[in-house]
Structure 1
Amino acid sequence: MQLPVQSQSTLYAEQWEAGAGPEDLREIARAADRYGFAYIACCEHLAVPRRLADAMGTTWYDPVATLSHLAAVTERVRLLSHVAVVGLRHPLLSAKQYATLDRLSGGRLILGVGAGHVPEEFRAVGADFEGRGAVLDETVDALKAALGPEEFPAFEGERFRFAGLGQAPRPVQTPRPPIWVGGSSPAAVRRAALRGDGWLPQGDRRTELPAKIARLRRLREEAGIEEPAEIGAIAEPLYVGEASWDVGARTLTGEPEQLAESLRAYRAMGVDQIQVRFRSRVRDELTDQIAAFATHVAVHLGD
């Protein structure tokens, strides 16, 4: 699940999140950990321009700081950046941050990366917005080297070059933490297929996913990549049980068996993991939904 509170776009944030803070994040992370969720996720925006602030909000917690904080209060749940806009910084800087997070968490990092979409963020730090796709491609390649097993990694690219520079601590995971690529454009699907260990679609409807999954698999096969990619999806908003309030027309709601039957359709189209979001009016309702989903819905989804 994507954590609430840490990003507060008007597209999805609940009203109670505006007054929430670190303790709420800790309690929700603990609930996800306790009830067996695969990962908790935090996304990234560096600075939101005024022209987008009404829709996006300006509350976007830093993913490395947030996930490191939550690593200390959880034990099992994995920690996903969904997504880090790694083209905003040199790959050695990102490698240092995320390798440290993997070490501090005992090897629970999943590095989700994306191209970004806000030109003002890139221009403010002197990064290349127009060429961000090519920058991301090379950054992913550089991160694979920098997060690998070598204490003195080496990389030679068009934009980035490094060798003879030691970085420690090294990640716990070997040969390196997984890198999942976010985005649903043709370029993003191709990047996930050829460079990623997994794919994180950005809000595709169910009818759109099968063709994109088929293309991703075809591209991997043509490139001779034998390891399957971890295919993700963001499910519709959920509410377990019959809601006594308006949870929205797109929200899946009802009895656990009904919800499970609907979610099993993702597996049938080739999805390996689904990211869920629960409608809620207060934090305790959200943690109750997490518990209800794990106890009554997930048991019907299979292994």
Structure 2
Amino acid sequence: MTPATFSVSIPQIVDGDFDEEGVRDYLVRAEELGFEGAWTSEQTVGGAAMLAPLELLSWAAACTSRLRLGVAVIVSSLHDPLQLAAAATSVDRLSHGRLDLGVGSGGDFRPFAAFGVARETFIASYTEGIELMKAAWADGPTVTFHGRFRDAEGLAIPLKPVQRPHPPLWFGGGAPRALARAVRLGDGFMGAGSSTTEHFRGAAATVREELARRGRHGDGFRIGKRVYLAIDDDPARARRVADEGLFRLYGALTTRFGEVAVTGTPEQVADGLREVVDAGARTVLLNPMGSDVAADREQLERLHAEVLPLLR
């Protein structure tokens, strides 16, 4: 029996009108099939026409009753912490305590000037912002916080998340300092879909070492990875579908990634996912690379019927 649980991505790219019925059916079916959760990602600036993650999760909460609802990751260095905390609280409330919130600094290639963020201090501001979010979620009707970048004295924030002390915080990143930060401040680490399995293996090992150093083994910290995938009886066609999907998301940046997608026949995809689990993933976020909701729904069915049984 594989030690991992499996979640799925929510179709998020909108070419034309939003396919409300298709996405609702996809979520309902994912819940029926027993997937653990349904996750979004964030791309505020980029080539893909993507719905905003927390807003989509708020909508998804009304379509489901059991699925965990996650985002991996919001580039929180580009968000106001108090506003982000309030939005997350709302989704957690609307879903009756089903939110998983992933955050990341985004790396120094982000267009910080467009967001009014100083490139020189964005990591320090990002880390402080996480602490302020936790203060906003803490018990008590008011928040007092004195930091380097933000100062709050007795602010009234009465609405708190259902999950205490706050929704699980998943961290992205790959550098050693980012992984240490994930263990110090978070409840989980989510490896990027744009990272190879081998790169994730090294990151997961670093996270486990940091957990041991901090005495956190056994406290529920989760290690996961998003996996871009395409299933097809024709392996070459599966690879083309994945490559086209990656280009829709990342454009020319895809040339930097290496072989990140798991593609091929059901047996080949199962082998690729087994490698991800063996590398340390205990939460696997399955991200079909279909061109539309119908294609992702077909991949969802094949994952359940043809791929996951090979991992049990």
Same structural fold, with TM-score higher than 0.5 when normalized by the shorter chain:
yes
* 1: CA distance, partners of 2:90 / 2:158: 8
2:298 to 288, 292, 296: 288
Deviations 1:191-244 (A, max 9, x none): 2122111111222212222322221122233234342521111224131x5149
CA distance in 2, matches of 1:279, 1:184: 23
Alignment of 1:254-273 (within 5 A): 254-255=265-266, 259-273=269-283
Q: What is the alpha-carbon distance in structure 1 between the residues aligned to residue 50 and residue 187 of structure 2?
A: 26
Kept after mapping to 1: 8 A contact 2:142/2:158: no
Q: Does 1:21 align with 2:18?
A: yes
The Cα shift of 1:38 comes to 2.1
- In the alignment of these two chains, the number of paired residues is 282
1:139 matched to 2:129: yes
The match for 1:173 is 163
- The SS at the match of 1:237 is strand
Is it true that 1:31 corresponds to 2:15 in the alignment?
no
Q: Is the 8 A contact 1:95 1:147 kept in 2?
A: yes
Corresponding position of 1:253: 264
- The normalised TM-score by structure 2 is 0.79
Quote the offset at 1:25 in angstroms.
3.1
1:88-132 deviation digits (Å, cap 9, x = unpaired): 233111111110110011111111111124767432232223322
Which amino acid letter does the alignment assign opposite residue 223 of structure 1?
R
Select between 91-100 and 156-165 the one with higher mean Cα deviation: 156-165
What is the one-letter code of the residue matched to 1:38? E
State the structure with bigger RCO (CA 8 A, min sep 6), 1 or 2.
2
The aligned counterpart of 1:69 is: 59
The structure with the largest strand share of the pair is 2
Displacement of 1:261: 4.2
Opposite residue 5 of structure 1, the aligned amino acid is Q
Equivalence for 1:52: none
Q: Which amino acid aligns with 2:11?
A: P
Structure 1: how far apart are the matches of 2:28 and 2:143? 35
The residue identity in structure 2 corresponding to 1:45 is Q
Higher mean Cα deviation, 84-93 or 28-37?
Answer: 28-37
Change (3 A) 1:39 1:18: same
2:198 to 192, 195, 207: 207
Instruction: Normalising by structure 1, report the TM-score.
Output: 0.81
Q: Tell me the SS of whatever aligns to 1:102.
A: helix
Report deviation, 1:251.
Answer: 4.2
Match of 1:190 in 2: 180
Q: Is the 8 A contact 1:147 1:177 kept in 2?
A: no
Structure 1 window deviating more from structure 2 (111-120 vs 88-97): it is 111-120
> 1-side partners of 2:265 and 2:233: how far apart?
5
Q: Which of 145, 149, 158 is the equivalent residue of 1:155? A: 145
Q: 1:288 deviation in Å?
A: 2.4
CA distance in 2, matches of 1:153, 1:301: 47
Per-residue CA deviation, residues 37-58 of structure 1 (Å, 9 max, x unaligned), is 2222222233x3xxxxxxx315
Letter in 2 for 1:235: V
Cα distance change of structure 1 residues 212 and 287 upon mapping to structure 2, 3 Å threshold: same
Shifted more, 116-125 versus 145-154: the winner is: 116-125
The SS at the match of 2:163 is coil
Gaps of 5+ in 1: 7-16, 49-55
Q: Report what 1:234 is aligned to.
A: 226
Give 3-state SS (helix, strand or coil) of 1:44's partner.
Answer: coil
Residue 58 to residue 233, structure 1, CA distance change in 2 (3 Å): closer
The RMSD of aligned alpha carbons is 2.6
